């Protein structure tokens, strides 16, 4: 049975990779690059549904990671609106960091940090890996991931499966030092003679040659800024200490991160959500900030919360974040709720629900948290994002950047390009040229107060420049 499954996986992945590579060589148009309509249609409307039909959710996920890691995923070329600078999707974060665009990948897709660059090349402004636990742990028994196809949702109960921080640190070192993937692949796979490996090696050689030749004739459009890397930190299932796992994670991995996330809201680790309560969260945030401040790079620190909190609990978290000078809040994780609208037969499975069914729940949590913090705290919005309108609604509710994950299961990697283009069009239609023009629009008083302060600061900067130029 295992041999049959492996043969099926090899044949499916091999056929998909060969088809994508062939069309990529043929359709690499100067204006579209790997974002050509034909390429997207093949990848998102043929290969992605094929994987869903042939492979179980976790196997399909592993093939997707393998494909991205080995350079077969699409890469983004800016859409016309962004390329012409009619719209700027970058977002200014805390501590001076700049998110090159406001669409990011949520934690959970690349738990171990093995495919970071390939994921960034899809067009994400930031990629968040993890959750990473101090010690390796297998997570919950399989099956532990379920597609809700009729609802465009996903239920997972992975339970923080992780290779551990030592191994992830090596992956992050490799990413930061731009290690070559070929040597890594050969070390990782001692039995490199299997059919899939040979097919990948041949396809990569053909692909790299054609890519180099084409881009020599038609140079790539420049992409201004590289994506940011977030590291999401989790807690081992058997750990009895309230804060120690997070302290270890900050010390060990913080130096490689552009930002850090303290995950205290996964529904799949017993007792973890208790850390969202008033006293535990204050103790945790206090020591986390102290540990972060001891790092040379001092990356912004965020805390990830659940969508199942009461208003009083949200008020308490908002005050704890502000009291401890935490840089931001990630709103939200998956939910334990099961909306009555769910149609899929798998909807009764235990675990956290994500995707379209939690879109409105997540957006409302963002709206409440932005109001509770009076717009003073940076918010990363996550939950149910599948198109530019979903992003726009979350930005209006108070998020400064958003994350996607589950919708890629149904729409493929090309969804990133479509969301960016869609959002750009919506912003132009509403007379907005920057993300700052949209963030918090649902909160009229807060929005205009922040806008007036921003305009005043811009005028102050202009006056300073004029004064300097007049003295020259």
Give the active site residues: 266
Q: Write 23-29 long-range contacts (CB < 8 A, 24+).
A: 24/207, 24/210, 25/206, 25/207, 25/210, 28/210, 28/211, 28/214
- CB 82: neighbour CB atoms within 10 A? 22
- Asked if the bond preceding 332 is cis, omega within 30° of 0, the reply is yes
Maximum alpha-carbon separation in the chain: 80
List residues bridging with 259 in a β-sheet: 230
Q: Is the dihedral of CA 181, 185, 188, 190 positive or negative?
A: negative
Choose among 376, 145, 133: nearest CA to 248.
Answer: 133
- Asked if the bond preceding 131 is cis, omega within 30° of 0, the reply is yes
- CB 216: neighbour CB atoms within 10 A? 8
Q: What distance in Å separates the CA atoms of residue 352 and residue 433, rounded to the nearest whole number?
A: 36
N-term to C-term CA, the chain: 79
Token digits for 77? 């070329």
3-state secondary structure of 379: strand
Cβ-in-10-Å burial (0-12, 13-18, 19+) of 369 comes to buried
Q: What distance in Å separates the CA atoms of residue 123 and residue 420, rounded to the nearest whole number?
A: 9
Token digits for 268? 């799949």
Locus of tokens 């600078």: 85
- CB 185: neighbour CB atoms within 10 A? 17
Q: Are 327 and 379 in contact (CB under 8 A)?
A: no
């Amino acid at each position: 049975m295992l041999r049959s499954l492996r043969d099926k996986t090899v044949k499916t992945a091999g056929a998909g990779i060969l088809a994508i590579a062939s069309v990529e060589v043929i359709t690499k148009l100067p204006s579209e690059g790997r974002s050509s309509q034909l390429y997207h249609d093949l990848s998102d409307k043929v290969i992605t549904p094929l994987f869903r039909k042939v492979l179980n959710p976790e196997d399909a996920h592993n093939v997707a990671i393998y494909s991205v890691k080995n350079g077969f995923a699409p890469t983004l070329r800016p859409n016309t609106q962004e390329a012409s600078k009619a719209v700027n999707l970058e977002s200014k974060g805390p501590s001076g960091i700049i998110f090159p665009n406001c669409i990011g990948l949520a934690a959970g897709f690349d738990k171990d940090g093995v495919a970071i660059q390939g994921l960034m090349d899809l067009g994400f402004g930031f990629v968040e890996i993890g959750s990473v636990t101090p010690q390796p742990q297998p997570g919950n028994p399989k099956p532990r991931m379920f597609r809700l196809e009729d609802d465009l949702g996903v239920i997972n109960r992975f339970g923080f499966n992780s290779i551990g921080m030592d191994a992830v640190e090596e992956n992050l070192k490799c990413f930061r030092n731009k290690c070559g993937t070929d040597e890594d692949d050969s070390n990782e796979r001692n039995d490199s003679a299997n059919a899939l490996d040979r097919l990948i090696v041949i396809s990569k050689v053909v692909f790299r040659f054609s890519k180099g030749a084409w881009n020599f004739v038609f140079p790539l459009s420049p992409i201004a800024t590289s994506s940011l890397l977030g590291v999401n930190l989790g807690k081992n299932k058997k750990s009895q200490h309230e804060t120690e796992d997070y302290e270890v994670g900050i010390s060990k991995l913080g130096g490689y991160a552009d930002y850090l996330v303290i995950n205290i809201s996964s529904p799949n680790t017993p007792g973890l959500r208790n850390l969202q309560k008033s006293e535990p969260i204050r103790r945790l945030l206090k020591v986390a900030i102290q540990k972060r401040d001891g790092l040379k790079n001092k990356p912004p620190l965020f805390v990830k919360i659940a969508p199942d909190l009461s208003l009083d609990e949200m008020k308490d978290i908002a005050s704890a974040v502000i009291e401890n000078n935490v840089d931001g809040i990630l709103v939200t994780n998956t939910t334990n709720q099961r909306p009555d609208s769910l149609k899929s037969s798998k909807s009764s499975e235990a675990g956290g629900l994500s995707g379209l069914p939690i879109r409105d729940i997540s957006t409302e949590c963002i709206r409440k948290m932005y109001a509770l913090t009076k717009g003073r705290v940076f918010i990363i919005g996550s939950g149910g994002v599948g198109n530019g309108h979903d992003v726009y609604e979350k930005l209006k509710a108070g998020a400064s950047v958003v994350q996607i994950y589950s919708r890629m299961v149904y729409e493929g990697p090309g969804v990133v390009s479509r969301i960016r283009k869609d959002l750009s069009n919506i912003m132009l239609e509403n007379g907005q040229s920057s993300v700052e023009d949209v963030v918090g629009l649902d909160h009229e008083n807060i929005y205009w107060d922040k806008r007036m302060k921003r305009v005043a600061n811009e005028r102050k900067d202009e006056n300073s420049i004029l004064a300097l130029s007049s003295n020259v």
